[in-house]
Amino acid sequence: MMIRIASMVLFCCLLATQAAPVLANKIEINYTPLMVSNMQPPIAVEAVDGKSYLAYELRLTNGGGFEVKLKSLEVLDAEKKAIKTFSGNDLLQIVTVARKNTTDFKPGDTGFCWITFAQDNNALAKEISHRLTYEIQGTDKADAPILNPETIIETDKVKVDQNELVIGPPLSGKGWVAIGGIGTDTGHRRALLSLNNKLCLSQRFANDWIKLDENNRTSNGDRKECKSYPCYEQRIISVADGDVVDVVDVFENQIPDKPGRIKIADAGGNYAIVKIGENKYAFYAHMKKGSVKVKIGDTVSRGQEIGLVGNAGNSSGPHLHFHVCDHPSPLFANGVPFVIDQFNVEGKYKSEEEFFKADEQGKAQVIVDQLKGKHEKQMPLAGVIVDFP
Ligand SMILES: [Zn+2]
């Protein structure tokens, strides 16, 4: 015992008399239990309100042994200036664990940040990174290592591309309501699926197009009959020149409001996928059985008929589900934005909740005077009522 104490004294003396060697490029160690990864790089797109939007996701996993509470999320530009900050209730609305909104991550929890925001048009970000501030809980316990409760991390920079995809309309005529898409966090926007061991969000920018009649109703008559819906059997047209890469035309219509159980692979019902560019595929879903006019290998032109609106697949009422994604698959793909070259906006629904309430009751929709007029090269926002040429 005496010898060990003596040698320790000697060691301390050596430290005191010699400069400690310093490792070049020494790596600083910080305990960061909440690990953040970018998923798909964002692509900025101009929406119908004239603003440029980014819509993308971050994945968060608590890989540590302590519960953590996320306090804020800042989106930073190339100069590390915050261009958008989420905190308090704003933050709670965009963070989920197991599909429930929360900013608390228990050890082992994985969650997602569903980020959508409009940028300042005078300062569009060319690259972004993120600064996350969180609190590690339980660091005051006697058996815990000494940790900073508040932790700040920054993610790697990712490049932001600007949307270059300009398409034509998928339908023609008046009174088409855009359900889903940018401007709502329900439905498509968060339809993230784990498929073939990959996380896929093909519906990120998808719209369900539903037609209003001359009295602004989505149905007129028996709601169990597809023919009571003004959009039923409307012509679906190709949004661009392209090559047909997949077609399904075998499913009967679902009974509106009472869809039966289906396999996830059959969610699109009768559909067509058309390659319209490099890693750009237009997807038209839920068509009426027997109406599909194209087959695999066909070349189609913009405006050419693809099929008729139906109610097949994962559909609770006749509508066209339309999106553009990066793979020739309905769901095993990631959704990419687009703008439509020309359309007219009649107004906007009052709210998504009120739209579906009036829809269920077959009542006239209340249309608010917003964003009215001609629009060029913009993406529809959720809730706009569009007249296509
Ligand atoms: Zn849909």
What CATH number does the domain containing 125 carry?
A: 2.60.40.1470
Residues of the chain with pLDDT below 50 are 1-16
pLDDT at 385 (0 to 100):
98
- Distance from residue 321's CA to the centre of ligand 1 (Å): 4
265 and 379 share one domain:
yes
Distances (CA, A) of 363 to 29, 173, 346: 62, 21, 18
- Distance from residue 206's CA to the centre of ligand 1 (Å): 6
What CATH number does the domain containing 293 carry?
A: 2.70.70.10
- Distance from residue 293's CA to the centre of ligand 1 (Å): 21
- Distance from residue 209's CA to the centre of ligand 1 (Å): 8
- Does the residue 9 lie in any domain? no
- Distance from residue 41's CA to the centre of ligand 1 (Å): 23
188 and 127 share one domain:
no
234 and 334 share one domain:
yes
- Distance from residue 90's CA to the centre of ligand 1 (Å): 26
- Residues contacting residue 230 through CB under 8 Å, at least 6 positions apart: 175, 211, 212, 213, 217, 218, 219, 220
201 and 106 share one domain:
no
Domain-ending residue, one of 128, 147, 162: 162
Task: State pLDDT tens for residues 214-271.
Answer: 999 999 999 999 999 999 999 999 999 999 999 999 999 999 998 899 999 999 999 9
- Does the residue 15 lie in any domain? no
- Distance from residue 97's CA to the centre of ligand 1 (Å): 23
Q: Which residues pair with 343 in a beta bridge?
A: 375
- Does the residue 29 lie in any domain? no
CB 322 within 8 A of CB 168: no
267 and 328 share one domain:
yes
147 and 135 share one domain:
yes
- Does the residue 10 lie in any domain? no
50 and 173 share one domain:
no
- Distance from residue 86's CA to the centre of ligand 1 (Å): 28
- Distance from residue 360's CA to the centre of ligand 1 (Å): 17
Task: State pLDDT tens for residues 165-201.
Answer: 999 999 999 999 999 999 999 899 999 999 999 999 9
297 and 334 share one domain:
yes
153 and 171 share one domain:
no
- Distance from residue 88's CA to the centre of ligand 1 (Å): 31
- Does the residue 283 lie in any domain? yes
Domain tally, the chain: 2
The Cα 45–Cα 216 span in angstroms is 29
Backbone angles phi, psi at 12, to 5 degrees: -65, -40
Domain-ending residue, one of 136, 162, 188: 162
- Residues contacting residue 69 through CB under 8 Å, at least 6 positions apart: 103, 104, 105, 134, 135, 137
pLDDT at 144 (0 to 100):
82
CB 58 within 8 A of CB 112: yes
- DSSP result, 125-147: -SEEEEEEEEEETTTTSTTS---
| Residue found by looking up tokens 């000494």 in the block | 146
- Distance from residue 49's CA to the centre of ligand 1 (Å): 22
Provide the pairing of β-strand 43-46 with 161-162.
parallel
87 and 189 share one domain:
no
Q: Which residues pair with 275 in a beta bridge?
A: 243, 281
143 and 211 share one domain:
no
Domain-ending residue, one of 162, 185, 217: 162
- Distance from residue 284's CA to the centre of ligand 1 (Å): 10
Q: 66 lies in which domain range?
A: 34-162
